[in-house]
Structure 1
Amino acid sequence: MKAPKGSLFACDAQSGAALTLLKNTEWRAQLDVPALAAYCYSFGQWRMAAEALAKMQANDPIMGAQLVKTKYGDAALNPLVSIVRKHAGDVVRYAGEFGLTAAARSRMIRASVNPQPPPSKFDGLIGGCTVTPIRSGDG
């Protein structure tokens, strides 16, 4: 089901990518659903704020809508810039949890490969003997 444009959960393509990953890696669990919902919510909020900021930037070619005029006539940071930045960070953080970023995928690959440690130069010197420490009172 496709989310309507401008919806808070306008994350159909993004959640589809995450769900495909979850199906392929068998990560599906009840715990994944709330994280995916949070990812979709953040993506929807980011998308709406980014689209609104883009419309404002079209009308402000000099400053790119980075600053707005306050009710006192001063210049202040456009609140949409902060909203876009916050939700973009959330989206990237959640995407990392689902393995949708390159760094997360490299960590998963590294964790899945369990190489044997290289042999030590001291291997075989004792010839299989085990050393048992002597406790006080023994002997």
Structure 2
Amino acid sequence: MRGRKPVPTVLKLINGNPGKRPLNRNEPKPVTAIPTCPAHLSPTGKAEWKRLARYLHDLGIISELDRAALAAYCQAYGRWVEAERKLKETPTLLRTPAGYVQPSPWLAISNKNLELMHKFMSELGLSPVSRSRVVTRSIGPKPWETAADEDDEFFA
């Protein structure tokens, strides 16, 4: 798809619909839930699943529909960790039987999985930039809000 990613209707409403384009009133609103961890994930991927799933649920940004995206991220994470471990054991540059020097295949695996992780991180709101674009369920007072803000004319 070309151009910018569509902005969720909730964000448009919060921002006052600056583009004044029609709102999608039929946008799906899945129930937040922690999806079950797929059995095919590597042990490192399962550990990452357990670490992330609760956080994403508490923020209200994950549902059963997001199972595949989270699984793909966790599997890429597991492969990246494995490749990084192998890179510690082997040199980054290898000499071929013909005498040429080439990068380790583990380096390519690591870099490819970092790219995949980055894509899924932005989709799931796991990076600082993508989190600024995600609307979450309120789970307590925000650290930047104080009682004094309520008296301030800019916060009225």
**TM-score bin, normalised by smaller chain:** 0.5 to 0.7
The answer as to whether partners of 1:9 and 1:40 remain within 8 angstroms in 2 is: no
Counterpart among 88, 94, 98 of residue 68 in structure 1 = 94
Question: Is residue 32 of structure 1 aligned with residue 66 of structure 2?
Answer: yes
User: What letter is aligned with 1:85?
Assistant: N
Partner of 1:46: 80
Partner of 1:135: none
Unaligned runs of 5+ in 2: 1-40, 136-156
Q: 1:9 deviation in Å?
A: 4.2
Q: 1:13 deviation in Å?
A: 4.2
Partner of 2:104: 78
Unaligned runs of 5+ in 1: 1-6, 57-64, 110-139
Structure number, greater radius of gyration: 1
- Pairwise CA RMSD: 1.9
Partner of 2:124: 98
Separation in 2 of the partners of 1:91 and 1:100? 10
User: What letter is aligned with 2:84?
Assistant: A
The answer as to whether partners of 1:9 and 1:41 remain within 8 angstroms in 2 is: no
Q: 1:75 deviation in Å?
A: 0.8
User: What letter is aligned with 1:71?
Assistant: P
Question: Per-residue displacement from partner, 1:36-62 (whole Å, max 9, x unpaired)?
Answer: 110111011101110000111xxxxxx
Q: Tell me the TM-score normalised to structure 1 length.
A: 0.60
User: What letter is aligned with 1:40?
Assistant: C
